[in-house]
Amino acid sequence: MNRTWVVVGATSIIAEQFAHLAAKKGYALRLVGRNIHQLKLIAADLALRHHISCCVVPMDATQITLPLEAIFAHDDTELDVLITHSDFTENATLSHDAITHLVHTNIHSTLQLIQAYWSIPQKEHHLIYLSSVASTRGRAKNSMYGASKAAIEVYLEGLQQAATDSQHITIARLGFIDTRQTYGMPGIFYKAPPKACAKACWHANQYKKRLLYYPYFWRMIMGVIGLLPFFIYRRMKI
Ligand SMILES: NC(=O)c1ccc[n+]([C@@H]2O[C@H](COP(=O)([O-])OP(=O)(O)OC[C@H]3O[C@@H](n4cnc5c(N)ncnc54)[C@H](OP(=O)(O)O)[C@@H]3O)[C@@H](O)[C@H]2O)c1
């Protein structure tokens, strides 16, 4: 049976680069997201370059009812899943609506997607979730975004604990990557290329890694930050 990568949030440049890697290896692709026009352009490019089947499924993550049947249709294929979509609203601009939007996008939809995927009977499951180093310690600037990533990580850790040898979940804790999310942000000392990030995620999942930090040096940085007593952490302007 052939395999298909379902890429959720496929207009992210990291997701697009990941889709190219999967397509190069001969996987079929299903691109999921809300910007249909952009997704169709990406799908046409992937299909043309790599001669693979690539379709598009519309999904707005803020909707209560997600098109789960269309996203996870699996009549003639087994599915692997990359979850990329995210809302990055910072604490300073949170309002009632913004909180609802962030919780639906980052938590509600992600839990629904993972749960639906995990209950499909397949020989193998491969799931990659793009998290953030912001999940490891609350930061004044964006602790609600960080909390949403941490919530999914905890849920996934439980699935990892119960997983069989043929079920692989990789949590990718990303530092700064050169994408739309970080465009124009001041004070970033290094932004990693999205293509290298996609490659690291691909390899981590193929090698059955449970947790990836990318760029890799963020593991050390977050190790140190995690150990700081709160009275010191509080004074840091990061
Ligand atoms: N870039 C970084 O430095 C960095 C650091 C840590 C973690 N990450 C994580 O990496 C992932 C990819 O982010 P990125 O940097 O590539 O930024 P991005 O280009 O802004 O990607 C965000 C993706 O989420 C989608 N999305 C947002 N709201 C949605 C909704 N309501 N329904 C459906 N799709 C929605 C966007 O679709 P549209 O095109 O329609 O907006 C886009 O595909 C995210 O999970 C992010 O948290 C990135």
Summarize pLDDT for 64-73 with one digit per residue, the tens.
999 999 999 9
Task: Give the integer Cα–Cα distance in Å for 86 and 9.
Answer: 8
d(CA 212, CA 27): 23
| Nearest CA, atom 24, ligand 1 | 85
- pLDDT score for 104: 98
Q: What's the pLDDT at 230?
A: 95
Q: What is the mean pLDDT of residues 159-187?
A: 94
Q: Whose CA is nearest to atom 12 of ligand 1?
A: 84
Mean pLDDT of the chain: 96
Minimum-distance ligand 1 atom for the alpha carbon of 101: 31
Residue 191 confidence (pLDDT) above 80: yes
Instruction: Tell me what pLDDT residue 185 has.
Output: 84
Quote the pLDDT of residue 220: 97
- Poorest-confidence range of 81-90, 137-146, 184-193? 184-193
Out of 41, 97, 152, 181, give the residue to mutate to test ligand 1, the one with the largest number of ligand atoms within 8 Å of its CB: 181
Compute, in angstroms, the gap from residue 87 CA to the centroid of ligand 1.
Answer: 6
Of 145, 151, 170, 207, nearest to 83 by C-alpha is: 170
Please check whether residue 190 is in contact with residue 174, taking contact to mean a CB–CB distance below 8 angstroms. Answer: no
Burial of 65 (0-12, 13-18, 19+ CB in 10 A): exposed
Q: What is the pTM of this model?
A: 0.98
- What separation in Å is there between the alpha carbon of 173 and the centre of ligand 1? 14
Give 155 Cα–ligand 1 centroid separation in angstroms: 20
Query: From ligand 1's centre to the CA of 1, what distance in Å?
Result: 31
Is 176's pLDDT higher than 80? yes
What is the per-residue pLDDT for 1?
Answer: 62
Cα-to-chain-centroid distance, residue 18: 11
Neighbours of 190 (CB within 10 A): 9
pLDDT of residue 75: 87
